Chains A and B, each alone.
Chain A
Amino acid sequence: MDYPATHGSHAGHDHAHDLPFWRKYIFSVDHKVIGIQYAITGLLFLLFGFSLMMIMRYQLAYPGQPIPFIGNWFGADKAPGGIMLPEFYNQLGAMHGTIMVFLGVVPLAVGGFGNFVMPLQIGAPDMAFPKLNMMSYWVYFLGGVVMLASFFVPGGAAQSGWTSYPPLSVIAPDGQTAWLFGMIFLITSSLLGSINFIVTIVQLRAKGLSYMRLPFFVWAQFVTSFLLLLAFPPLEAAGVLQLMDRLAGTSFFLPSGLVVSNAVLTSMTGVADPTTRAGGGNPLLWQHLFWFLAHPEVYVLILPAMGIVSEIIANNTRKPLWGYRAMVYSVVFLGFMSFVVWAHHMFMTGMGTAMSAFFQTTTMIISIPSVVILTALLLSLWGASIRFTTPMLFALAFLPMFGIGGLTGLPLGLAPTDIHLHDTYYVIGHFHYVVAPGTIFALFAGVYYWFPKATGRMMNETLGKIHFWGSIICINLVFMPMFIQGLGGMNRRMYDGGMQFVHNADLLYWHVVIGWAAWGLGLFQLPFIVNFFSSIKWGALVDKNPWDATTLEWATPSPPGHGNFVTEPIVYRGPYEYSVPGSARDFTPQFEPERA
């Protein structure tokens, strides 16, 4: 291996300090720069996706009222007189989901944290394929541009839910076509990234770093990459089929004799021979292909978060993780199981009892590894010497929040109870608990934890604590009432908040509560944004290992230079050797030969 301190000639490769600005910071092939690019872009998209929801929340709290201050920005085709049209509500809803999942959370969790931290934690100088890594980021960026641009297409953005079910999505305006092309870019980016991650983890581990000495974060990213690699292609295929239906007049998803607005659907408008569509297609085909990806996708959303929380808990309890081996087996088993549960999203499509029994069973089985991981993390707190730093507060909060999210998933995974709860606000409450106070809290924790490694400076603790306490209170006020609304029978995706249905009357008030709580949640992100940028300039300076941690990334300078490690890293022990009896210090890093 070549290390900056030891190598001689380079076979035509530039030193980083010789590169012009645009190759060092814009089109960089360094995994740390790319990781930061992903992270900042992802955070910006999270903020944008959140703002879309804020606009929707006003409409839900006060249906039919003009949106204050910004209502006239949207134009007559979206909100004439500032009053939101149902079509615009649907666009905001579909794009909120798409942007949060595909442009926000995954790029931050996998592209951001995975890229920056994983090569450091395995002792690698960079990813296995640095140029491919750069391409992955820019293809993601392009996909994001296409998605944002789709708002300005005639007819507006995609408006058939993030799930894009046909036949509606096939006859929807042009924004849906933009969505499909955007998804193809994003899927390509994901595929290239996942290949890079797997090859890097398998091939570039440092000497002495066996699989069972890997930090759990790396295991989580490893399994996540397999999910992305194998689950995305069916959605890509489905996207191609839907594009064919929209642009080439095929009927992959359109049944025979489909009637739209009192007329039988024709082949293609503007074509010389608009005979009726061939038909013979199947809307359920889309659902199967979509959910075949989208179920593993939710594990893509949670696994990196579990990885981040694991690192922070081990570090801030000054103890090894409880049940590391069980956690590793669980996360691998979870990966396999995630491919055989998808139709629990389709219980209400008229499937027979044999099929629903199968998917209920696999869904119940998959909860076991999740619970093992959560329990192991909880047990890791027993007898611990807890340091309540900001990252640890977010990591600790993750545990009960993910617990609520997971438990509320049970009546959804069981078909009989799902009959009542499917497509209600209960579902929205469930998945937001897992992804918002779940994953996003873990991502915040990760930002506070690894910020000093990336910048050489600490974030401010006071601002961090304000961010934490404000967020945890408001986020529960946003999502807890949704379980009440859902159990009461309030359907999701209703632009008037369900006002037109008598059975919702007593539940409407909650929209106002949620709206105010959402505003509070938004306001409490300001301390985080201020903290993030001001700490880059004025945060307290730190050395290599400000958290007294044990994993390899803390062997490098803060921030690490090109090539990461000054001398070749060698691993001598497991990842969480904290509070070992007989040791002078309460931690022994993986990379130090002698125990102190």
Chain B
Amino acid sequence: MNIPYTVEARPDTGLPNGKLGIWLFLASEVMLFGALFSSYILLRVGAAEWPSGELSVPLGTINTIILIGSSVTMVMAWASLKLNNWGRHRLYLGLTFLLALVFLVNKYFEYAEHLHLGEGPNHSTFLAIYFTLTGLHGLHILGGMVVMAYFLGPGAKMWKTEPEQFTNRIEYTGLYWHFVDLVWIFLFPVLYLL
């Protein structure tokens, strides 16, 4: 049995099923991170004092550049498929994965620095929301990496059997990845700069 519009777009919506699906998922993610950002606002407004300068702005800036870069390579990975260039696609997808990995390694160093000083999430409300927000974001980066690893590994054979569907899936992965990048672009100023 064949489900219609899995690969080709439905004429009146102009969308294949997966594209609508991923946008809906992203809408729910906006609500998830939105709730956490709202919690941040409520907690900060209600706090007598709020720490500043506890996070490394240079490291945060580097991570921001890395993530924006990974969004660029992600688009290139999809564009390469549209141009039928399998080799370039592999290169760019692999680069995206690597950049994500570097991001997480940096985060590891950041976390370790605080935790070694005994400054865990229970140390202050600021650190609590910092660890929760960046931790959840980090889990989303990890999730994206798992998906990319799948498309670099066992999932890659779909390019031979169903190239259009494979290209669509890389596009949806890209949309998800841009969202994760966008969350960081809010996280960085809110936590590190303000």
Contact = CB atoms under 8 A, between A and B. Distances in A.
A195 B25 contact: yes
B190 interface: no
Given A125-B2, A268-B122, A289 B39 contact: yes
B32 A1 contact: no
Interface in A288-323: 288-289, 292
Interface stretch (A243-251, A441-449, A506-514, A529-537): A243-251
Interface in B99-149: 118, 120-125, 128-129, 131-132, 136
B35 interface: yes
Given A237-B36, A285-B42, A129 B17 contact: yes
A125 B3 contact: yes
B2 A2 contact: yes
A233 B29 contact: yes
A278 B25 CA distance: 35
Contact of A229 (B6, B27, B43, B46): B27
A453 B118 CA distance: 63
Contacts of A240: 132, 136
B121 A250 contact: yes
B131 to A, nearest CB: 8
Interface in A188-241: 191, 194-196, 198-199, 202-204, 229-234, 236-238, 240-241
Contacts of B47: 280
B1 A563 contact: yes
Given A230-B31, A289-B39, A128 B128 contact: no
Nearest to A14: B1
Contacts of B131: 248
Nearest to A272: B118
Nearest to A4: B1
A569 B43 CA distance: 55
B8 to A, nearest CB: 11
A553 B132 CA distance: 47
Contact of B28 (A204, A232, A562): A232
B35 A289 contact: yes
Given A128-B17, A233-B31, A278-B125, A199 B24 contact: yes
Contacts of B33: 237
A17 interface: no
Contacts of B125: 250-252, 278-281
A277 B122 CA distance: 7
Contact of B20 (A130, A203, A241): A203
B17 A199 contact: yes
Nearest to A289: B35
Interface of A: 1-2, 4, 7, 10-11, 13, 125-130, 191, 194-196, 198-199, 202-204, 229-234, 236-238, 240-241, 244, 248-252, 267-268, 273, 277-282, 285, 288-289, 292, 562-563
Given A280-B125, A563-B1, 4 more contacts: A127-B3, A203-B17, A238-B35, A279-B125
